[in-house]
Amino acid sequence: MAVTLKEVAERAGVSRSAVSRTFTQGASVSAKTRKKVEKAARDLGYSPSLIARSLATNRTKLIGLIANNFQNPVFLEVFDLYTRALQERNLRPLLVNLTDQTDPSASVQLLKQYSVDGVIVASSTLPPLFAHAFKEAQVPVVHAFGRFASTPDIHIVGIDNEHCGALAAETLQKHRYKRVAFLGGPQSATSAQDRGAGFTRRAKEIGLEIVSSLYADAYAYNSGQQAMRELLEDRRFEAVFCGDDLICMGAMDAARDAGLSIPQDVGFIGFNDMNMAAWQAYSLTTIRQPTSEIILSSVDLVVSMLDTPERAPEVRLFPCSVVERSTLRPV
Amino acid sequence: MAVTLKEVAERAGVSRSAVSRTFTQGASVSAKTRKKVEKAARDLGYSPSLIARSLATNRTKLIGLIANNFQNPVFLEVFDLYTRALQERNLRPLLVNLTDQTDPSASVQLLKQYSVDGVIVASSTLPPLFAHAFKEAQVPVVHAFGRFASTPDIHIVGIDNEHCGALAAETLQKHRYKRVAFLGGPQSATSAQDRGAGFTRRAKEIGLEIVSSLYADAYAYNSGQQAMRELLEDRRFEAVFCGDDLICMGAMDAARDAGLSIPQDVGFIGFNDMNMAAWQAYSLTTIRQPTSEIILSSVDLVVSMLDTPERAPEVRLFPCSVVERSTLRPV
DNA sequence: CTGTTTTTTGCAACCGGTTGCAAAATTTTC
DNA sequence: GAAAATTTTGCAACCGGTTGCAAAAAACAG
């Protein structure tokens, strides 16, 4: 069916190796044969089979991309950036959707079977153990949006969530809030834990009183909405720090539904600065997570591991910053 | 490095074919050898290389998934559903992000090189010519969310956009609107054209006056917002039909920004019924596109083509329905 | 023009599986 | 228990490329 190396070789009147060499980077072929081969290939509409090449070279140019949150639109930005960054480097993403049902070890197995060249775990909710499984299986792995550890045993690219939580506390204080609430992401997520911890610690330090504290059950709109309703039962807070923009939007809608206006009756600060945070209906003051830097950096990292797999584990942290919009009262 | 067939065979004391057979569906092996092989494989931690298998069987279990809109959160739902549906069928998505810069023929080439078993073009904006390229290259292809044609030459799964546009007109009439505006998706998209055409036709038939008509430049929030501002310069309409929910949200925010309230001053009807349409800040009345049915059906279709590639081109259309929320005045 | 060095080329083995075929082993039949 | 029918097994060729190695060709030096 498809045109093969052999046919091209015959037509060009050269050996199969000659054809192979004209199609592999940095191999030595004379200008003359290269020309002959290229003509023959063009005539026949030949393009080398990546499968066969992969088998021979033990390289697939496939990068496993593991994600487990398809509810949060941030991830669409994430996919967009990943697919583009990989495509530019002549790599392909093999997308794995890790639902709660799927057995983690199964997907390790799976990606091993496809012999992906590397894996990017793009999730702030997956436990580190997950990325480890790949390290153990000897496949280059980087955990993007993962939990920062001072003595990492795998590559981590992300932010210092603890510090960013503290930043939220400072921002609330700057806006002269005294009593606040914390509405975090799912408690099982390391990112949610760390943001909460940093927020709590710093709040204590600067005399900001946390009157309520609650973890939503997912990084999702509905979860934020529902958690906010609960929070509203005992409304002694003047502002809420939400561990995620999407949760924050749900929370804001719940607050408005209860007849509160923002920021007059209650202030909000979110986390991520997703595209939608700038929408007029929300115009969310939020902590910006440098998504695109994290993604580019994690791709670069995984690429460099292709050549030097034994690279020492590295942590790359990017700074977050406050984006002021209109959900906190003017200072 | 990785454990191979041969090593398992040696350890189990059988031939390589025996090992191969215990790992391929429907091959004949005795219970006894199967047991021996399975034990050896377990001991060694063997899992067959899909690359090698692909080379031998000429099947990769890879499905190319082509998308070109990573701005619209609907596509996150789309990716979620696709990845799950494929995973359940033991197939993997190879994601191609078709930005405006990428050369279409290059990605055809690319997917051919990876010898994907099939391709799903998931886009309502790509021209049909695109899916054709795959048909020509002899790879099973279905165009999901594609333009309906009565004499299709490739498989199409989607909706009758023309009819759905008409449905929008009827809904506006039902709510006693007389003068309306049309705010479509990008004019180059067949879906936008068809929705517009159906809307216009039906409006004329039932005596609904279309006072303005405009195409946004993308299926995106900002585009909707911007187009609405333009529309507002000459506000003779009482309601707007937006060719997409996201555009509609942008438009609503623009209207609110201009001091209008919804639905008192101006009504809105969207298209898609994406998750966010139910959000309280919008609570959008919209035409529901049966995304999940379309996706499941297109996966089934592509799967069935794997076995019978010569299947006659088929069109599968799913009905849309109106979801009433609060952006049209009560009838 | 010859001898040396460098570049190009083809051979053949290999990557890790699958599969048609015939021989061997097992089961069934009488 | 032998013959026939059926199932299981191993051999060997194949899928479509890459690559180390040695021979051949080309380039260079004197």
Same structural domain, B123 and B208: no
B11/D19 CA-to-C1' distance in Å: 30
Q: How far apart (Å, rounded) are the C-alpha atoms in residues B236 and A190?
A: 53
Q: Which residues sit opposite B158 in a β-bridge? A: B317
Q: Phi, psi (5° rounding) for residue A40?
A: -60, -45
Give the domain range for residue B204.
161-289
Same structural domain, B178 and B216: yes
Same structural domain, B106 and B255: no
Q: Which of residues 214-253 of B touch A (CB under 8 A)?
A: 221, 225, 249, 252-253
- Measured CA to CA in angstroms, residue B221 lies from A154, A181, B46, B101, B245 at distances of 39, 31, 50, 22, 9
Same structural domain, A138 and A279: no
* A5 strand D contact, CB < 7 Å: yes
Q: How far apart (Å, rounded) are the C-alpha atoms in residues A61 and A52?
A: 13
HEC string for A5-60: HHHHHHHHCCCHHHHHHHCCCCCCCCHHHHHHHHHHHHHHCCCCCHHHHHHHHCCC
| Average pLDDT of the residues in A237-243 | 98
- pLDDT at position A25, please? 85
Tens-place pLDDT, residues A259-301: 999 999 999 999 999 999 999 999 999 999 999 999 999 999 9
- pLDDT at position B99, please? 84
Q: How far apart (Å, rounded) are the C-alpha atoms in residues B54 and B75?
A: 30
- pLDDT at position A34, please? 94
Identify whether B54 is part of a domain. no
Number of domains in chain B: 3
Looking up tokens 């792995």, which residue turns up? A141
* B112 strand C contact, CB < 7 Å: no
- pLDDT at position A28, please? 84
For residue B66, the surrounding DSSP H or E stretch is: strand B62-67
Same structural domain, B165 and B285: yes
Q: Which residues of chain B have pLDDT under 70?
A: 1
Which amino acid is residue A69, in one-letter code? Answer: N
Residues of B in contact with A252 (CB under 8 A): 281
Beta strand A321-323 pairing with A286-288: antiparallel
Tens-place pLDDT, residues A14-48: 999 999 999 998 888 999 999 999 999 999 999 99
Q: Is B97 on the interface with A (CB under 8 A)?
A: yes
Which amino acid is residue B9, in one-letter code? Answer: A
Identify whether B273 is part of a domain. yes
Same structural domain, B80 and B154: yes
Same structural domain, A111 and A165: no
| Average pLDDT of the residues in A220-233 | 97
- pLDDT at position B285, please? 98
Tens-place pLDDT, residues B269-283: 999 999 999 999 999
Identify whether A100 is part of a domain. yes
Which tokens belong to B194? 């068809």
Residues of B in contact with A75 (CB under 8 A): 76
**The domain that contains B240 carries what CATH number?**
3.40.50.2300
Q: Which of residues 139-178 of B touch A (CB under 8 A)?
A: none
Tens-place pLDDT, residues A108-140: 888 988 999 999 999 998 888 888 989 988 899
Classify residue A279 as left (phi > 0), alpha (psi -120 to 50) or beta.
beta
Same structural domain, B135 and B98: yes
Same structural domain, A111 and A225: no
What mean pLDDT value characterizes chain A? 94
Q: Is A326 on the interface with B (CB under 8 A)?
A: no
Same structural domain, A273 and A295: no
CA angle, A281 then A287 then A289, to 5°: 110
- pLDDT at position B130, please? 85
pLDDT at A1 over 80: no
Q: Is A89 on the interface with B (CB under 8 A)?
A: no
- pLDDT at position A26, please? 82
